[in-house]
A = this chain, B = another copy of it.
């Protein structure tokens, strides 16, 4: 039974907390949040201890692992503290949005050798994973084209958008940049990006790109397309299509129910699941299970800091391309 310390009781924290509590191999021991009341409320539900000070929890020798659910710009400091305390680390994506800080984390992790896992949860979605496994099993032969559609139902509030310009790259498509590496088991060597502001000024006052198309070339020669939007009227649109010499595999969308309504106007199904936490409910459970499994068997986690670093590098190059209108070569 592994004791976990959850850092960050807001937004995605309660989800990870519940998953830890329900996992047969784990126990939620601590909840840490600057907002101590929030930490307490969450901790109480699962019989955990609460604190406003990370150090207090890290000092508990029974704590074996830390789950970091705080805002991105705080990740690096918490990673370093947890690593120095010898705790295994599960960090919500991204590692950080500043490459220098990511590199600094890398050094600390290399010194401390603690297991590190970055939560690119889509790798653990059952359908995306089945697509991955089908490619790896050779079902489509050599992969030749990959097409990822990644559309959010609505744009974030202006104040959130203001904190991360080009968030469509750093926040949304960074998942796709991770997935293309994961699915093709290969690295991109070129990226070409174009963006647009399609959402009206009231909802997107900063005129930050809300629509993007990206084309990449992999070192194998495979071609990749990613499209993204911050406003899909019909729900959270998440599709991946891999085409190869022997066929195609497609990860299609998920609906709240499987009901079909037949009437004069045609046949209607539900809109897509709207909320990313509903769509990826399974993947959040499975990524935690993968992390715990790695700790239990003392094997390296399936996805590490270098994966987080590379996805960020692709996002940065994409933004450069979008700004210059020219393809950008990628190297590491």
Interface residues of A (CB under 8 A from B): 18, 22, 24, 45, 126-127, 130-131, 134, 139-140, 142, 144-145, 147, 149, 151, 190, 192, 194, 196, 198-199, 211-213, 215, 217, 221-225, 227, 229, 231-234, 237, 243, 245-254, 256-272, 325-327
> Is there contact, CB below 8 Å, between B261 and A139?
yes
Q: Return 6 A-B CB contacts under 8 Å, by A number.
A: A126-B256, A134-B261, A145-B213, A233-B262, A250-B259, A266-B271
How far does the alpha carbon of A48 sit from the alpha carbon of B271 in the complex, in Å? Answer: 41
* A268 contact from B18, B254, B265, Cβ within 8 A: B265
Q: Are B249 and A261 in contact (CB under 8 A)?
A: yes
Closest CB in chain B relative to A21 CB, distance in Å: 8
Apart from A139-B263, A213-B225, 4 more pairs, CB < 8 Å = A233-B246, A254-B258, A262-B272, A268-B268
Which residues on B sit within 8 Å (CB–CB) of A227? 145, 147, 223, 225, 243
Across the interface, do B225 and A225 meet the contact criterion of CB distance under 8 Å?
yes
Asked, given contacts A194-B223, A225-B227, A258-B253, whether A234 binds B264 with beta carbons under 8 Å apart, the answer is yes
Q: How far is the CB of A276 from chain B (nearest CB, A)?
A: 16
CB pair A247 B259 closer than 8 Å = no
- Of B217, B250, B256, the residue contacting A262 (CB under 8 A) is B250
Choose from B18, B190, B259 the contact partner of A130 (Cβ within 8 Å): B259
List residues of chain B with CB within 8 A of the CB of A251: 257-259
Q: How far is the CB of A192 from chain B (nearest CB, A)?
A: 5
A326 / chain B contacts, CB cutoff of 8 Å: 326-327
How far apart sit A231 and B246, CA to CA, in the bound complex (Å)?
9
B126 touches A257 (CB 8 A): yes
The smallest beta-carbon distance between A256 and chain B, in angstroms, is 7
- With A198-B142, A245-B198 as contacts: A260 and B250 at CB distance below 8 Å: yes
